[in-house]
Chains A and B, each alone.
Chain A
Amino acid sequence: DAKTTQPTSMDCAEGRAANLPCNHSTISGNEYVYWYRQIHSQGPQYIIHGLKNNETNEMASLIITEDRKSSTLILPHATLRDTAVYYCIVNIMSPDKLIFGTGTRLQVFP
């Protein structure tokens, strides 16, 4: 079973920041937080991952709370192409399998 809890759906205006929360209160010390997204039946796309420190890349920022029980994915300037299902996954590093939950369906509107 997935170890994370995410809201079922969220809306965001184009150009605004999208903040997607994730609860992972049972995360273990050696588990990473991964974020993937799936755009309409395409293969899931890696976004970002982190262990305890905040991370940023060209796609997004990941904010992990100090107790590591929750995190937030931030898309700084959402576009219509960011409309997708976003999955938060906790996992030890490869080669362990990824277990997907139900994710958050993000709708970006004009």
Chain B
Amino acid sequence: DSGVTQTPKHLITATGQRVTLRCSPRSGDLSVYWYQQSLDQGLQFLIQYYNGEERAKGNILERFSAQQFPDLHSELNLSSLELGDSALYFCASSPRTVMGVGYTFGSGTRLTVV
């Protein structure tokens, strides 16, 4: 157990639907990062939140949004889903400053759009 919890582990939904992925960071970590990994593709950075505020944005579609709540957990919302959105979605967390491990990843949510 890495300390970063992602739910659900698997999700199957139809095109056009909306889903929410949840991430609970490691205790004490202030930053949450979301990544997308399509089949046989690399890890694409989507968005980062730091202590409740958006800090950095990557290749995130307008149909996708995220937020980080006061208790520091984060949700990634995917709407108007398309077949191409099928992927693994990973969340990572890190503390304010790194001494040692730093970035810790969850086990991911596998999204299948049918």
Contacts and interface: CB of A to CB of B under 8 A. Distances in A.
B42 A95 contact: no
Contacts of A42: 107-108
A93 B98 CA distance: 6
Size category of the binding interface on chain A:
20 to 34
Contacts of A100: 35, 42-45
A98 B96 contact: no
A107 B96 CA distance: 35
Give chain B's interface residue range (CB within 8 Å of chain A): 20 to 34
A46 B102 CA distance: 8
Contacts of B88: 41
Main secondary structure of the interface of A (DSSP, over half): loop
B101 interface: yes
Given A42-B107, A100-B42, A95 B50 contact: yes
Contacts, number: 66
A99 B45 contact: yes
A11 to B, nearest CB: 19
B52 to A, nearest CB: 13
A44 B96 CA distance: 20
Interface in B36-70: 37, 42-45, 48, 50, 55-56, 58
Interface of A: 34, 36, 38, 41-46, 49, 87, 93-103
The 3 closest A-B pairs by CB, nearest first: A43-B105, A94-B94, A94-B98
Interface of B: 2, 4, 30-31, 33, 35, 37, 42-45, 48, 50, 55-56, 58, 88, 90, 92, 94-98, 101-108, 110
